[in-house]
Chain A
């Protein structure tokens, strides 16, 4: 805190502060039409507004302090696995209700497996087939999750 040189920055805290401010503002914007009311007769918007305000204040505080803190980097980052996972899960979400369990799951497992740089095709094929069969038996037939198995 004491030595506030311009190079001294706590980047994780800057990220945290900005995130809180952003999400708080988003909350305020989303709840802009709600009635605020008073403490005795709280409207639907009373607490969301108060807490979003608090979130923004805390975010601003964290951000302000972060600029003066000792240097701390975000750390090594590799977003590739995350992006691949998003694609895999997103595909499952879109396909589950229409194309059915088998297609959605194979997409999820094959694409998802690519997220690991050490993955091997032979293993992916075997584990996808085994897990799809296992999942269909346990979840769809066994537990009765309501999802079509195949598109037709």
Chain B
């Protein structure tokens, strides 16, 4: 009964005109950037983060999450129509989706993608509603030692499950942790790593790092070479799938949803990993695997459901434990902190309206996306023709004003340059910036709890193994690291990610 009560509370929060409006804006913006190549959801959330200062907390979170899951819908549109995945998570959709488009079945592919995503989004939202209270009441018993282990588990698992070199990703986590220490040390009052600059006493602002690494660096690498665009399949065809197509895809939708929901919860998981895993699952169990790559509808239905379920499910660890599982969730954490909310198990109890309102809005947003995407598909297709040279000055302006508005000073804008250059160099060095951001947001939590735990144990590191939950987390982390050293697993991990390297 409690559950129903909270659901009613959630919908009454989400259905206020303001929140509905921002849900719609978020979903619309998400679709837009999903369709437009060259701007990802991470960069967009980074750029819009400062704007959310001016909104009420719930409306801000609703809009930012709308951008995230909206981008998963929009990304598939371009993947199917022009063989150009707008988002990394839509890379696999392009394989079979574009082939379907070439056969004149683009409409059916788009419809299945949207319907599958809606179904998956609904299931994952229910999953969040069910798992949320359970997980968070479990986490309420966590002491400092558990938090340290949880942070370490979250950070390392994220580097292992994300693609690219693990050791370099761990290096990026360390760099993020160091950046998080800049400013005045809360325990001793000493200023750390500020290079004598008084402007850095409050630390580096999250928005500065996010906009530099994901906004400016992305523009700089997009502009390096002339843009290339795929050829648009002119006919979209009948939208409604045939009976046969429905029959072939419903199983894939169910399996994709399951894969996405489970993988989305894991640190480093989320939309992209879910989509790739779902595709390989479909190909493996299919009776006609030779059809994959030549327009198999299951190859669209599975990954599309999975990426949306994964996107939705990655909110679970953030909202219940306060641990972000990927860089977008790190941004959400940043947004919550801006509004004075400490993400973690207490949010559900202290601010039930916020938690349940956000969940209810996700379902509403998914329903809106169905309408935004299917009947209005023609508009999005036309938008694909807007050249990047007209687009990026606007992005640049949003970046600069946004960063300036955080503290109303030019210093932060100048600091963005530093992180923009760093982000560019990291791309050249094939280092992922995501782990850096995770390290940066989790750094303070990790440090405070580590100090507390070791103070209580008088410097005895065994404390992390004496508490059962903490010990289990550390053992799982160690196990994951060990398996990486085994050559067989390393090889299959490499193969799994090879396809995703674009």
Contact = CB atoms under 8 A, between A and B. Distances in A.
Interface of A: 12-13, 15-16, 19-20, 23-24, 27, 30-31, 34-35, 38-45, 47-48, 51-52, 54-55, 58-59, 61-62, 74-78, 81-82, 85-86, 88-90, 92-97, 105, 108-109, 112-113, 115-119, 123, 127-128, 131, 135, 139, 143-147
What 7 A-B pairs have minimum CB-CB distances, sorted nearest first?
Answer: A40-B459, A81-B223, A93-B413, A39-B459, A16-B429, A44-B190, A93-B414
A76 B221 CA distance: 11
Interface string B406-437: 00111101101100110011101111000000
Given A19-B425, A74-B428, A44 B192 contact: yes
B188 A58 contact: no
Contacts of B455: 40-42
Interface in B230-256: none
Given A48-B193, A52-B178, A115-B220, 20 more contacts: A13-B430, A15-B428, A19-B429, A30-B195, A31-B192, A35-B190, A43-B188, A51-B174, A58-B171, A81-B220, A89-B413, A90-B414, A93-B416, A96-B413, A97-B409, A109-B396, A112-B392, A119-B389, A127-B394, A147-B404
B198 interface: no
B461 interface: yes
Given A27-B193, A47-B181, A96 B404 contact: yes
A95 B400 CA distance: 12
Nearest to A38: B459
B389 A123 contact: yes
A116 B219 CA distance: 10
Contacts of B431: 16, 19
A144 B288 CA distance: 60
B333 interface: no
Contacts of B451: 42
Contact of A51 (B178, B414, B421, B429): B178
Interface string B453-479: 011011101000000000000000000
Nearest to A126: B390
B187 interface: yes
Of the candidates A42, A74, A76, the one having the most CB atoms from chain B within 10 angstroms of its own CB is A42
A38 B388 CA distance: 54
Given A15-B429, A76-B225, A27 B178 contact: yes
A112 B391 CA distance: 12
Contacts of A119: 389
Nearest to B396: A112
Contacts of B399: 89
Interface residues of B, number: 67
Contacts of A94: 410, 414
B224 A23 contact: no
B347 interface: no
A112 B395 CA distance: 11
A111 B190 CA distance: 41
Contacts of B457: 40
Interface of B: 51, 54, 165, 167-168, 170-171, 174-175, 177-178, 181, 185, 187-188, 190, 192-195, 216, 219-220, 223-226, 387-390, 392-394, 396-397, 399-401, 404-405, 408-411, 413-414, 416-417, 420-421, 424-426, 428-431, 447, 450-451, 454-455, 457-459, 461
A42 B192 CA distance: 14
A97 B409 CA distance: 7
B171 A127 contact: no
A131 B401 contact: no
B429 A108 contact: no
Contact of A55 (B175, B194, B195, B458): B175
B170 A58 contact: yes
Nearest to A135: B397
A7 to B, nearest CB: 20
Given A34-B190, A118-B226, A20 B404 contact: no
Contacts of B174: 20, 24, 51-52, 54-55, 58
A85 B178 contact: no
Contacts of A145: 401, 404-405, 408
Given A85-B216, A116-B223, A44 B429 contact: no
B171 A55 contact: yes
A128 B389 CA distance: 12
Contact of B416 (A40, A82, A89): A89
A62 B168 contact: yes
